[in-house]
Amino acid sequence: MINIMLSAALVLFGVAILISLYRIIIGPSLPDRVIALDMIGVHLVSAIAIISVLFHTTAFLEVILILAILSFISTIAFSKYIERGVIIERKHDS
């Protein structure tokens, strides 16, 4: 029973990823797309967690943590780019 529920959840996450992808492709503005990518990251984190439960393993817990951090970083990078045009600013005195 729990397996069926977990699988159903996985499929739902898959649907959610597809819907986010639709937003990335269509999304009229760049922030739409960036948010959609961030959402895919979050979906992935949840999906991997469910997969870990399904597989009865703790090997993927690092992946969850790393993915959470990285999707945050890439969202930040995009936001900074959208705001400033550059990601790494040079020092003013140089």
Partner 1 sequence: MQSLNSCRVKIVYLFNCEIKSYLLQLDNFAKYFTIRNGGLILVSVNLLIIIPFIAAALILFLQKRVSRIHIGWFVLLIPIILFIFLVRYIPNIANGATYLHTINWIPSYGINFSSYLDGLSLIFGLIITGIGALVIVYSIYYLNENESLKHFYCYLMLFMGAMLGVIFSDNIMVLYVFWELTSISSFLLIAFWFQRKRSREGAQKALLITVSGGFSMLAGFIMIGNITGSFSFREIIAIIPDFYDHTLFIPAMLLILLGAFTKSAQFPFHIWLPSAMEAPTPVSAYLHSATMVNAGLYLVARFTPVFGGEGLWFWLVTVVGLVTMFWGSFTAVRQTDLKALLAYSTISQLGMIMSMFGMGSAALNNGYSADSVVYTQATFAALFHLINHATFKSALFMVVGIIDHGVGTRDIRRLGGLATYMPITFTIAMIGSFSMAGLPPFNGFLSKEMFFTSVLNIREANIFSLEAWGTLLPVLAWVASVFTFIYCMIVVFKTFLGKYQEERLEHPAHEAPVGMLIAPIILAVLVIAIFFFPNVLGDYLIVPAMASIFPAFAAEADLGVTISAWHGFTPELIMTIGVVVVGTLLFISLKYWKRIYALLPESWSFDSLYNAVLETVETSSNKITNFYMTGYLRDYLVYIYLFFIIVVGGTLIYTGALNFDIAGNAPIDAIDWFIAITMVVGSIAIIFAKSRLTAILLNGVIGYGVALFFVLLRAPDLALTQTVVETVTTVLFLVAYYFLPDWQKENSSRKTKSVNLLISVLVGAIFVVVALAVQNEKLFESISGFFENSYELVGAKNIVNAILSDFRGFDTMLEVVVLLIAGIGVFTLIKLKARKGEEELENK
Residues that bind partner 1 (CB under 8 A): 7, 10-11, 14-15, 17-18, 21, 24-25, 30, 33-34, 36-37, 40-41, 44, 47-48, 51, 55, 57, 59-60, 62-63, 66-67, 70-71, 73-74, 77-78, 81, 85-88
- Tell me how far, at minimum, the Cβ of 93 lies from partner 1, in Å: 19
- By C-alpha distance, which of 14, 66, 20, 18 is closest to 39? 20
In terms of CB distance, is 5 or 70 closer to partner 1?
Answer: 70
Alpha carbon of 82 to those of 24, 40, 68: distances in Å?
16, 19, 21
Contacts of 49 (CB under 8 A, 6+ apart): 60, 64
The pair of three-digit structure tokens given for residue 8, joined into one six-digit string: 């159903």
Closest approach, Cβ 70 to partner 1, in A, equals 4
Nearer CB in complex with partner 1: 5/14: 14
Burial of 68 (0-12, 13-18, 19+ CB in 10 A): middle
Shortest Cβ distance from residue 73 to partner 1 (Å)? 6
